[in-house]
């Protein structure tokens, strides 16, 4: 079996197994707050049988990764509302008048298991995850939709796609800027590489959807239901969330050429225009910077939207998150999507 320490070192490997939150209950009973969705730092420490400071140190070192996977720090009115919904937090064991509170989803708790080095419970979770990961590879069924070779190809394509987006395309951009007599040839080469990148992403999505269709019966909970949706169902789900949170004039554009780069348009309760991009990618995928750039142009330049939402069933790369922050796009990653679907209203949709 693969050594469980690989999860401590490889974020890619961690991301590939983050959907298996049911492992937490198989290793040890997990207590949740009354909302059935979150736990506090103290509860995470209790589950993994470590000091709270150990959890805080992991958060300090890996804050971005944990945040992308559902961890939130509540302050002000958000904290007051959360405490009101979880009344037992006000007992003697809970500090009164605190300025902020970190809360974690099941996905974040599983993420924590792959970052905590000195916890026997976390080690058991990692071992269980890798045992589940390796077993199908050792005994592939002859009628599987996706064979072992196809899985390896899919993972290789995902890595190669990231390499193209992060290294090859930027290098060609730099060469184009400084080229002289070979300018036209370099432009053609860059376009070819970008087309390859697009094709690999499309192929990756198709393979992952085939595999996801096999695993639908094993999926549970909110995020499992979302993973089982096709693209049209996912867009309708996001549209329903917008309506639930007070948006009006919610319109689905159906993914046709007339959408001009936006899947859903709407208007907030206080009159601001909303543009939404929906991507039901496989959990191990990441939204790339090039994909974020396209939506930035569509939402902010073409549609001139006041609120831009990029809603995805996966995480975002660091580069795409930086672009989103710079351009005023709210990146609704997998963890935040789960919380939104469970009833938490997006901050950006609230009336100012």
State the CB neighbour count (10 A cutoff) for residue 71: 25
- pLDDT of res. 300: 86
CA nearest 4: which of 98, 104, 175, 124? 124
- pLDDT of res. 137: 42
- pLDDT of res. 187: 64
Domain locations in the chain as residue ranges: 6-138, 148-218, 224-349
In this structure, which topology does domain 224-349 adopt according to CATH? Trna Endonuclease; Chain: A, domain 1 (3.40.1350)
- pLDDT of res. 35: 72
The CA distance from 292 to 301, in Å, is: 13
DSSP 333: -
- Residue 50 near residue 118, CB atoms below 8 Å: yes
The CA distance from 232 to 236, in Å, is: 6
Compute the radius of gyration of the chain from its Cα atoms. Answer: 21
CA nearest 94: which of 29, 33, 31, 24? 33
Angle between helices 41-48 and 106-113 (to 10 degrees): 50
pLDDT below 50 — which residues of the chain?
1, 90-93, 133-158, 212-220, 257-258
- pLDDT of res. 171: 60
Q: The tokens 């087309």 sit on which residue?
A: 195
Going by C-beta distance under 8 Å and a sequence separation of 6 or more, which residues neighbour residue 96? 90
Task: Specify the pTM.
Answer: 0.41
Go through 42-60 and write b for each residue having 16 or more CB atoms within 10 A of its CB, e for each that does not.
ebbbebbebeeebbeebbe
Angstrom CA distances, 32 to 29, 40, 41, 126, stand at 10, 9, 12, 21
């Amino acid at each position: 079996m693969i050594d469980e320490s690989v999860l401590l070192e490889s974020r890619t490997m961690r991301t590939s197994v983050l959907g298996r939150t049911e492992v937490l209950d198989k290793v040890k009973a997990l207590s949740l707050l009354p909302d059935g969705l979150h736990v506090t730092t103290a509860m995470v420490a209790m589950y993994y049988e470590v000091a709270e400071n150990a959890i805080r140190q992991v958060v300090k070192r890996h804050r971005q990764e944990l945040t992308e996977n559902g961890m939130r720090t509540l302050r002000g009115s958000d904290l007051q509302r959360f405490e009101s919904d979880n009344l037992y937090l006000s007992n003697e064991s809970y500090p009164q008048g605190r300025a902020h509170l970190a809360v974690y989803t099941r996905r974040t708790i599983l993420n924590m298991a792959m970052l905590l080095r000195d916890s026997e419970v976390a080690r058991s979770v990692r071992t269980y995850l890798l045992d589940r990961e390796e077993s199908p590879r050792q005994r592939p069924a002859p009628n599987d939709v996706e064979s072992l070779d196809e899985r390896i190809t899919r993972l290789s394509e995902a890595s190669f796609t990231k390499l193209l987006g992060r290294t090859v395309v930027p290098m060609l951009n730099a060469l184009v800027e400084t080229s002289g007599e070979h300018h036209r040839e370099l432009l053609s080469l860059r376009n070819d590489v970008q087309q390859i990148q697009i094709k690999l992403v499309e192929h990756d999505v198709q393979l992952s959807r085939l595999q996801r269709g096999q695993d639908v019966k094993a999926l549970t909970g909110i995020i499992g239901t979302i993973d089982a949706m096709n693209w049209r169902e996912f867009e309708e789900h996001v549209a329903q969330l917008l309506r639930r949170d007070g948006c009006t004039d919610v319109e689905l554009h159906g993914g046709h050429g007339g959408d001009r780069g936006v899947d859903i348009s709407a208007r907030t309760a206080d009159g601001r225009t909303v543009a939404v991009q929906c991507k039901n990618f496989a959990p191990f995928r990441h939204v790339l910077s090039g994909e974020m750039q396209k939506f930035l142009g569509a939402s902010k330049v073409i549609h001139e939207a006041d609120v831009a939402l990029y809603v995805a069933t996966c995480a975002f790369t660091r580069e795409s998150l930086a672009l989103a922050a710079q351009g005023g796009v709210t990146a609704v990653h997998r963890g935040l999507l789960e919380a939104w679907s469970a009833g938490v209203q997006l901050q950006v949709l609230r009336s100012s």
